[in-house]
Amino acid sequence: MSTKEKGVKDRILETAVRLFQTQGYANTGINQIIQESQTAKASFYDYYPSKDLLGKAYIEFYGKEQLVLLEKLQSRSENARDFIQAWTHILRRQTRNSEFAGCPMANTAAQIASTSPSISEEVKKLALRTVEFLSIYLKERQKKGQIPKNADTQSLARKIFASYEGVLQIWKLTGKISALDDLPEMVDAIIKSSGKK
């Protein structure tokens, strides 16, 4: 692919990312993406023959960004509490941006229901990768004595991910940014109870 072609494809995806995040996947039409990306219709379909393929590329893009963010937070955090506090801080900062509408994978999955198997599969893969990332991180913390030795890190990771998704949904439903501040407390409680039999 030439540099020019890559530029056009990137411009389409960047426009789609912005529109999907602000308007939602279901509320964004291909014609709007074509117009706002200043792309010829034929060029658009050369790169993305369907909206589903563009939606899948959007989730892939978000997934890469999310995992890079989590890796950065992990490298800067002394312990799990610092990691979750930093994650919460990022979420609070994102909510100040009027274009932030919550978790793109949860939002997209809710909007498409079961009408797009390829997007649903991409969302599922990203959710599982995120849980696996958290599980590996927690295992490392476990080796350092920060997580109870008998804790099931896979189960812990799922509960932390569920808490993350939950606080974002409460924020969206209520408009109260303070809902995000529940995340560190919820994760603390999950970790403390994880060693109890």
% the chain with pLDDT above 90: 71
Which fold would CATH assign to domain 55-195?
Answer: Tetracycline Repressor; domain 2 (1.10.357)
Domain ranges of the chain: 55-195
Whole-model pTM? 0.87
Read off the pLDDT band of 102 (50, 70, 90).
confident
The dihedrals phi and psi of 65, each to the nearest 5 degrees, come to: -60, -45
Question: Of the spans 3-17, 87-101, 180-194, which averages the highest pLDDT?
Answer: 180-194
Task: Give the tens place of pLDDT for each residue, 149-179.
Answer: 999 999 999 999 999 999 999 998 998 999 9
* DSSP state, residue 107: H
pLDDT digits (tens, 9 = 90+) for 23-67: 888 889 999 999 999 999 999 999 999 999 999 999 999 999 999
Measured between alpha carbons, how far is 8 from 92 in angstroms, rounded to an integer?
Answer: 33
From the centroid of its chain, how far is CA 93? 15
Residue 163 pLDDT = 96
Contact 25, 55 (CB under 8 A): yes
Three-state SS at 49: coil
Average of per-residue pLDDT values in the chain: 90
Average pLDDT value for residue range 76-101: 88
pLDDT digits (tens, 9 = 90+) for 7-28: 889 999 999 999 998 888 888 9
- CA atoms within a 13 Å half-sphere pointing along the CA-CB vector of 140: 13
In terms of Cβ atoms closer than 10 Å to its own Cβ (0-12, 13-18, 19+), residue 197 is: exposed
Is pLDDT at 124 greater than 70 in this prediction? yes
Mean pLDDT of 109-130: 88
